[in-house]
Amino acid sequence: MRIAVVGGGQAGFSLAAGLRSQGFEGELALFCAEPVPPYQRPPLSKAYLLGEMEVDRLLFRPAEFYAESGIDLRLGEPVTRIDLDSQAVETERESWAFDQLALCTGSRPRRLPAAIGGALDGVFEVRTLEDVDRMAERVSPGAHALVIGGGYIGLEAAAVASKLGLKVTVVEMAERILQRVASPETSSYFRELHRSHGVDIRESTGLVRLLGETRVEGARLADGTELQVDVAIVGIGIMPDVALAEAAGLAIENGIRVDEFGRSSHPAVWAAGDCASFPYRGERIRLESVQNAIDQAEAVAANMLGAEKPYVPKPWFWSDQYDVKLQIAGLNTGYDRVVVRPGDKEGAVSHWYYRGGDLVAVDAMNDARGYMVGKRLIEAGKSPAPETVADTNQELKALLKAG
């Protein structure tokens, strides 16, 4: 049995390691486009950019782990084509035949078009180690950083730039930051947090173009404003990386379409992580999170070995900005009511999302207790009455007894 895993991110590493830990003894190759062993991505734009974490601490495992585990680690060897007829992955170096294939190609950042300055020197996305190393050379105290996009990626970058002593302006074309992913209450919380640190938040303000001949020197906004900027950080979202799968003829539906076991439209090909869309509660979803990448990859590894156990996610996410830790449990899709509950500590608060009478998600800011209780309730399918959640005289733990 020969298994190829394509992608050196969290899902690819977790799936390859999971195959070995679950007893797979055949040939196993892990193809990585980057020249470094698989590493954590969330710290890149935070602890690593701040100089608080070295490269070695980013790695999931040291290089010797792969040799000891019998994982043929192919660094700097991106797969260029999948031939499903002959069941082989092709790189510039060779063709590698497989019995089963796991696609963990992750996601790729949306880029600014070159026509509006996206190709200028000094324009960065925050996705890879190389991206952040290049950015580190240009972020210096007193410089002006323009952050394009007010989602979590953009706001995390803004927080780090501010902590490094840069002047920071965030532009968001939607009516409010975090509009796609969070409630107005959560948007307001983070708007005030960033403004308290001197960040200029401009909502309902699109970018017309970046200015400069070869390097970014300024920006023209939709309201006619022109800014002088030294660095532009692009955080306008990510897309599932499905190019290989699509070219091979696999079914695509907001990602590589897989069934509840993680199997694609071809019986020998599987997918996990950011690139995979899967059935969940009567819908088809795709989750962009470290937690999902790990859990789904381990589940798919088991199913590749014959477990035939459906993957049921327990969604949770997090974001670190300044001294605030945001923890999110559940999915807030379709919510129609938000309950705000102050936490036990100063500055702590949680936002509880309801769809009809059902609790579907919780945003907890520096409120670990609110997050844990909310997460347990959602996973148990319990929904305390909104009025009960809002009542701060009601102990949080008592909510777990709700029907």
Does residue 242 sit within a domain?
yes
Could you tell me where the DSSP H helices lie in 74-171? 129-136, 152-163
pTM value? Answer: 0.94
Mean pLDDT of 72-98: 97
Quick check: is 314 in a domain? Answer: no
Nearest-CA neighbor of 331 among 286, 368, 294, 396?
A: 286
Total tally of structural domains belonging to the chain? 3
Specify whether 119 is located in the same domain as 191.
yes
> Contact 148/173 with Cβ under 8 angstroms?
no
Confidence of residue 402 (pLDDT cuts 50, 70, 90): low
Mean pLDDT over 228-237 rounds to 95
CA distances from 403 to 45, 123, 358 (A): 41, 52, 11
Residues 141 and 227 both lie in one domain: yes
- Are residue 254 and residue 209 in the same domain, yes or no? no
pLDDT at 335: 97
Q: Are the C-beta atoms of 339 and 362 separated by less than 8 Å?
A: no
pLDDT of residue 403: 52
Do residue 46 and residue 92 come from a single domain? yes
Question: Nearest CA to 102 among 327, 261, 337, 232?
Answer: 261
Write out pLDDT tens, residues 157-213.
999 999 999 999 999 999 999 999 999 999 999 999 999 999 999 999 999 999 999
Could you tell me the CATH number of the domain that includes residue 353? 3.30.390.30
Residue 143 covered by a domain: yes
Q: Tokens representing 338?
A: 């938000």
Mean pLDDT of the chain: 96
- The most distant pair of C-alpha atoms in the chain lies apart, rounded to whole Å, by 66
Contacts of residue 389, defined as CB under 8 A and 6 or more positions apart, other chains included, come to 339, 341, 352, 399
CA distance 181 to 51: 29
User: Is residue 7 within 8 Å of 104, Cβ to Cβ?
Assistant: yes
Q: Does residue 57 sit in the same domain as residue 169?
A: no
Q: What is the CATH number of the domain that holds 13?
A: 3.50.50.60
- Does residue 386 register a pLDDT over 90? yes
Cα angle 355, 396, 339; round to 5? 35
Question: Whole-angstrom Cα distance, residue 38 to residue 338?
Answer: 39
What number is the average pLDDT over the span 217-241?
Answer: 96
187 with 244, same domain: the answer is no
pLDDT over 60 at 86, yes or no: yes
Helix, strand, or coil here: 124? Answer: strand
In the numeric block, which tokens belong to residue 259? 């069934």
Structure tokens at 247: 């070219």
Radius of gyration of the chain (CA): 22
For residue 289, the enclosing domain spans 2-108+238-304
The Cα 93–Cα 96 span in angstroms is 10
- Look at residues 166, 138, 153 and name the one whose alpha carbon lies nearest to residue 46: 153
Look at residue 355 and tell me whether its pLDDT is greater than 80.
yes
